[in-house]
Structure 1
Amino acid sequence: MKQLLEFIPLILFFVVYKTYGVQEAALVLVVATVVQLIALKVLYKKIEKSQWILGVSVVFFGLLTAYFNDLAFLKWKVTLVNGLFATALLVSQFVFKKPLVQMLLGKELKLPSNVWEKLNLGWAGFFIVCMIINIVISEFFSDDVWTNFKVFGLTGLSLIAVIGTGFYLYPHLKQQEESNGN
């Protein structure tokens, strides 16, 4: 349910963009994002930091997009947010010596530090790749191509990253389960 709730603003943006245009789609995205944040607070009693970052950036860049009737602002948002997430992951690991992924998931999963570090670097790399692809598509392709990429391409890449994470973690989780069972 929570994941579906997170995709509703994106889906509404896409439909309104294809049907009416940039300004209308940006305004719908902003309103849907605010409603989404309220719904997350009501249903789950908490809004994660990443959801706050995304929500505030969508409202800010969405309003700029609507005001100037220019999709460039939302294109920048994707680049900046991916860059911010990659930077946070890298700084947590190399400056604070504690991978952010471990801080987020360490209560639920017990893994060796080298596994956390590789997972953290993998996600940082993922955000960097998404940032670079977004820059290339937003600069060298049409707004329609970028919109399709934003909705379907980034969603698909995220799904692949999550599945890849599962495959990477599976042997470690299985090993942990076996050691706990013996």
Structure 2
Amino acid sequence: MKFLFDLLPVILFFVSYKWADGNKEVTAEWLTHYVGFAVASGTVVAKQAPVLLATVVVVVATLLQVVILKAARKPVDRILWASLGVVIVLGALTLWFNNEAFIMWKPTVVYWIMGLGFLLTEVVFKKRMLKQMMGGQLDVPEAIWTRVGWAWALFFVGMGFLNLYVAFVLYAGNTDAWVNFKTWGTLVLTLLFIVAQGVYLSRHALEPAAEAAPGGGQ
């Protein structure tokens, strides 16, 4: 359930973009009427309408995530706070300049923040956040946890660069292709990496200590 809750902004971004892409004129008129004040020119052009609507939706969705967690008196993850800050700043720039390039940077910035977080938490301070998340289900050597921490940090850094490559090189000027990659490509890559990490950790799991025989050692 938490997985779907975390994915909600991504899903809504994709759905709203696809709907607006098929209704560009209507979307442009609606955005101009309701959020034209946030656009430098005061008018949203049809070509930019889909990504601008998706940007508005993802900002609102991320904000609602924080509000819901606060209302339920549940802790708000630091990465969610960071994601909210990044999406508000880059979303505002996207709207003001009527340019999708800013929101395209959002995944990269969030990935790099997460990578830095893993590096500091797992490698530098050795707090073993991953071990805590797994509920202590796996007992592996400390050196393995350090390697896994490095792997996650490098994974997120790499994903950040991959997002920039897809957005501005591989599919430069093709927002639709970037949206598809952002939604499905990154999800598949992340799931594959999680599976690989699970296999790696299971291979290095320590055997539980054998129980002493009855009456032994007395």
Q: Please report the TM-score for the alignment, with normalisation by the length of structure 1.
A: 0.84
Identity between Structure 1 and Structure 2 (%): 32
Match of residue 128 from structure 1: 157
Deviations 1:8-32 (A, max 9, x none): 2111111111222121111111111
Aligned residue for 1:179, secondary structure, equals coil
TM-score, with structure 2 as normaliser? 0.72
Deviation at 1:92, TM superposition (A): 4.7
How far is the alpha carbon of 1:44 from its aligned partner? 6.3
CA distance in 1, matches of 2:182, 2:159: 10
8 Å contact from structure 1 (residues 22, 66) kept in 2: no
Contact 1:30 1:59 in 2 (8 A): yes
4+ aligned runs moved over 4 Å, structure 1: 91-94
Amino acid at match of 1:87: L
Which of 172, 179, 182 is the matching residue for 2:209?
179
Instruction: Describe how 1:110-121 pairs up with structure 2 within 5 A.
Output: 110-121=139-150
- Residue 170 (1) aligns with residue 202 (2): yes
For residue 131 of structure 2, the aligned residue among 105, 109, 128 is 105
1:152 aligns with 2:184: yes
Q: Write 1 or 2 for the structure with the bigger share of helix.
A: 1
CA RMSD of the aligned region, Å? 2.3
Instruction: Give the number of the structure whose alpha-carbon radius of gyration is greater.
Output: 2
1:28 to 2:60 alignment: no
- 1:41 and 1:164 map into 2 onto residues whose CA distance is 34
Separation in structure 1 between the aligned mates of residue 95 and residue 211 of structure 2, nearest angstrom: 57
Count residues with an aligned counterpart: 177
Question: What is the CA-CA distance between 1:130 and the residue it aligns to?
Answer: 0.6
